[in-house]
Structures are given as C-alpha cells and as structure tokens.
Amino acid sequence: MSTRKTSAQAAPVIESRDALTRPMADGEKPPENWRIGTEHEKLVYKRGDHHAPSYDEPGGIRDILIGLTEFGWSPVEENGKVIAMSGPDGTVSLEPAGQLELSGAPLENLHETCAETGRHLEQVKAIGERFGVGFLGAGMWPDKTREELPMMPKGRYDIMRRHMPRVGNLGLDMMLRTCTIQVNLDYESEADMVAKFRVGLALQPLATALFANSPFLEGKPNGFLSYRSHIWSDTDPHRTGMLPFVFEDGFGYERYADYMLDVPMYFVFRDGKYIDAAGHSFRDFLDGKLSVLPGEKPTAADWEDHMSTAFPEVRLKSFLEMRGADGGPWNRICALPALWVGLLYDRTALAAAWDLVKGWTMAEREELRDAVPKMGLTAPLPGGGTLRDIAGEVLSIARAGLSARDRRNASGDNETGFLEPLDEVVRSGKTLADKCLDLYHGEWNGDVSRIYGAKSF
C-alpha cells in the first residue's frame, strides 16, 4: 500500500473535471521511456518461536527499518515514527501487520529488476541475522490468527481496520495476513492503456493460478491454492473485482475517473495526519460538502491518494498495476514482471494475447476469476478445457515479446530466462501451493511450521 511522504496542502485545488483524468494522462510515455516497477511483500517472523514481531519490540519492525540506514536508506516518518525507508532502489514500507514491502524503482529491464530484488533481499537478510529474524515468501501467514498479529503505526491503517468489517468479512485478513507480488507498467496513449488494461484483467486469473502460494490457514490446509485471492472476493465490493466497464466500448480515462468517484473514501491527509472519511463520497468532497472537512474542496494530491484506495485486479493510476499474484520466493519476484512485460510491452505479443481472450464474455471472465483461487490451473476455461490448456500458449507469447525486446545482460542473455519457473509450473501442473500441500501431507507430517525452514528467503 502507498506510503505518504508529503502533505496535500500545497497541491492545487481541483477546479475542473480535467484534473481527475490528468494523473492518468500524465502517465503516457513513448515506448523508449517505458519502465518496470516491481513490488513484493514478505512475512517477517522471529526465528525462535515464529511470532510476528511488533513495531516496538527489540529487533522488531522499527529496528529492521532503521537497520537499512547502513545500506544508504533514509527514514520516512509519520507522527515521529519511522514507517518507511527511501533509497535508490525505491521505498521499503510496512504493510498493516508488519509485512515488509519493497516498492522498487522504475527500471529499464528485467535484469535490473532481478538485481534490485537481490540487493534488497541480501540487505534484509543481513539485518535479520543480527536480530534473529527470518523472511517468508508466501501469499499469506500459514499459521497466524488475526489476534496474533501486530498493527503498524500508520494512520491510514487505523482507519481501514475500523472500516473493513463494515463492508466485508475478510478485509482484515487482507490487511493483516496476506502478501503479494505486483508489477507496475507504462502505456503510450489512452488507447494503449485500454488494450493493456483489458488483457491484464482477462489474464489476471492465470497469474493468480501460476503464482498460487497460500494453501494454509491457521496451521491447516484451507481448501484453496490461493486463499489470498479468495480473500479479495469478500473484502469490499465497492473497490475490488474485475471491473466489467473496462471491456465496454468507450472505456478510457473518463470512465475510470467515474469509477473512482463511486469508490467510497477512506481518508483525507492534512497537516501530517489522516482524517477519517471512510464511507464518504468524493463527489461530495468536490462540491465542498465533505462533513469531516466542511467547505473545503479536494486537491490534486487528495485525488491521487484516493486513487490508491481502490483494489481491483488491475489498477490504474499514472501506470497500470497487475495485482493478481501471491507472494513467493526470489525467482517468482523476477517471473511476475517477466510475464507481464512480455505480454504487454510488445505490440505483437499484446495483440496475440488479446486474440486469446477477446471472445470471452464478462460472465465467463468472472466465473474464471471465481474458480481460480480454489482450482488454480484446473479451473474451467470459457469454451471448454482448463486454464492450463492456454497457459503454455500465453507463456510462449510472453517469451516472444521478451525476445523481441532483446534486452540483454552483460553475459548476453535476454530476459526470457525469467519465465522458466512458470514453464515448470505449466509442465508439471503443480503450483507452489500444490507442492506445499504435498510436503504437508508427506515429509512435514501435518506440521505446517516446517514451512519456515523450507520456504524462507
């Protein structure tokens, strides 16, 4: 989730509808300036007893963040507390229960992305050695109840924690127990954004299936391969889902702005503090009728904050975010951007991917998304067969797209090698979740705590 660094007070007040579409339009870039921004979260635990460390305890989350200063990172504070670190590799920030996230810098190629990931993981592992802390690559906590998890000192999280139970049954699980890998990608024009948004949404269930890695809940199998993805289905219907309007004629910046206006607010940021506006209307705010700030109208920064509070499967800000994947190990952090860069950053690949999915109805897209958390690659495909039947073809399209980009490292390798972990999933039919379940029923003898030794970074 976003980390706020400055107050909205200095930003211009929104005076026209153009200001609502400006962040999206300002994101347009020529292809030579397209970048790759990768975000990945990991679960933090104390090695001695596997508990999730609190913010303040010795060797806890605050100490881990501050430890990053020795690698050149600078603290970002909120109300006197360090809540993130800023540096040349982006931002290291906190999810609500202390999940540690790297929001990486915008990079030119996947070789740089994987190098950035490697630097970050080596840094936090070095700090973890000092504090007796480990980092688990998974889609959600395999054994923790909500009550066992700490809460980080960020104002927006307090507001969300109060609001989530009003709108869904699993929103607190989303906040406290899940981890993801995401990639942020650019577009050249409004039409290019639309094409990428549609392919991204239609194939997001495939990403969920390929990266499924959350089969346990409170120490036992939960009946899902991606319980993290299931959680989103009962978090908040106003701000999640597959966004049917994206596939309608005329979709563009204006229509997405209308969607965001209909997403209820969470907060307004003023004077370094978050004001609870949960459930209120941004349309009222535009009219100066927001009850928590009577007479005041929103700034451009307020709108950009609000755009960060919707959580659909693909999200638009000044770039597109692919949001369907569970957290996972090092090679998956490199594989997710490889999948989407291959599909979306080459025109031929983008057209081929759209040809695969353009005939699906919205009902069929929704059915596939609903089936994937439990069934993974065996989910039934529109028109017959299973998702696995097209997975290999999608990877072939992505590989061709990466080959066409021809971005090579010092050894002369292009970017296609980063897809290899996904090739293995399709060949075997087994996701990380399937493999964990096999271990649970076999070598681990029903002891889910064995995951810490087997699946940590």
Tell me the pLDDT tens digit for each residue of 410-424: 999 999 999 999 999
Banded model confidence at residue 2, pLDDT cuts 50, 70, 90: low
Instruction: Tell me how far apart the alpha carbons of residues 103 and 336 are, in angstroms, rounded to a whole number.
Output: 14
- Please determine, for residue 204, whether its predicted confidence score (pLDDT) is greater than 90: yes
Tell me the pLDDT tens digit for each residue of 20-77: 999 999 999 999 999 999 999 999 999 999 999 999 999 999 999 999 999 999 999 9
Which whole number is the average pLDDT over 146-155?
A: 97
Banded model confidence at residue 4, pLDDT cuts 50, 70, 90: low
Query: So what's the pLDDT on residue 8?
Result: 44
Residue 12 exposed, middle or buried by CB count within 10 Å (0-12, 13-18, 19+): exposed
Instruction: Tell me how far apart the alpha carbons of residues 84 and 92 are, in angstroms, rounded to a whole number.
Output: 5
Regarding the domain delimited by 8-455, which CATH topology (the fold level of the hierarchy) does it fall under?
Creatine Kinase; Chain A, domain 2 (3.30.590)
Average pLDDT of the chain to the nearest whole number: 97
Instruction: Tell me how far apart the alpha carbons of residues 424 and 109 are, in angstroms, rounded to a whole number.
Output: 23
Q: CA separation (Å) from 178 to 137, 165, 198, 243?
A: 11, 17, 26, 22
User: If we measure between CA atoms, which residue out of 65, 68, 49, 64 comes closest to residue 128?
Assistant: 64
The pTM is what?
0.97
- Please determine, for residue 210, whether its predicted confidence score (pLDDT) is greater than 90: yes
Assign 83 to helix, strand or coil. strand
Query: So what's the pLDDT on residue 11?
Result: 84
Which whole number is the average pLDDT over 234-246?
A: 98
* Domain definitions of the chain by residue range: 8-455
Instruction: Tell me how far apart the alpha carbons of residues 222 and 215 are, in angstroms, rounded to a whole number.
Output: 6
Instruction: Tell me how far apart the alpha carbons of residues 270 and 272 are, in angstroms, rounded to a whole number.
Output: 5
Which whole number is the average pLDDT over 366-393?
A: 97
Assign 63 to helix, strand or coil. helix
Which whole number is the average pLDDT over 208-225?
A: 98
Rounded to a whole number of angstroms, the distance between the first and last alpha carbons of the chain is 22
- For the chain, percent of residues with pLDDT exceeding 90: 98
Instruction: Tell me how far apart the alpha carbons of residues 144 and 200 are, in angstroms, rounded to a whole number.
Output: 32
User: If we measure between CA atoms, which residue out of 183, 99, 101, 170 comes closest to residue 140?
Assistant: 99
- Please determine, for residue 7, whether its predicted confidence score (pLDDT) is greater than 50: no
The 3-class secondary structure across 38-49, one letter per residue, is EEEEEEEEECCC
User: If we measure between CA atoms, which residue out of 154, 153, 150, 103 comes closest to residue 269?
Assistant: 154
Neighbours of 456 (CB within 10 A): 18
Which whole number is the average pLDDT over 427-447?
A: 98
328 near 435, Cβ under 8 Å?
A: no
28 near 45, Cβ under 8 Å?
A: no
The alpha helices in 105-154, defined as continuous H runs, are 110-131
Q: CA separation (Å) from 196 to 10, 35, 104, 107?
A: 33, 15, 21, 19
Which whole number is the average pLDDT over 236-252?
A: 98
User: If we measure between CA atoms, which residue out of 171, 450, 209 comes closest to residue 328?
Assistant: 209
Instruction: Tell me how far apart the alpha carbons of residues 231 and 147 are, in angstroms, rounded to a whole number.
Output: 17
Tell me the pLDDT tens digit for each residue of 320-346: 999 999 999 999 999 999 999 999 999
Assign 75 to helix, strand or coil. strand
- Please determine, for residue 6, whether its predicted confidence score (pLDDT) is greater than 90: no
358 near 134, Cβ under 8 Å?
A: no
Query: So what's the pLDDT on residue 68?
Result: 98
Tell me the pLDDT tens digit for each residue of 259-276: 999 999 999 999 999 999
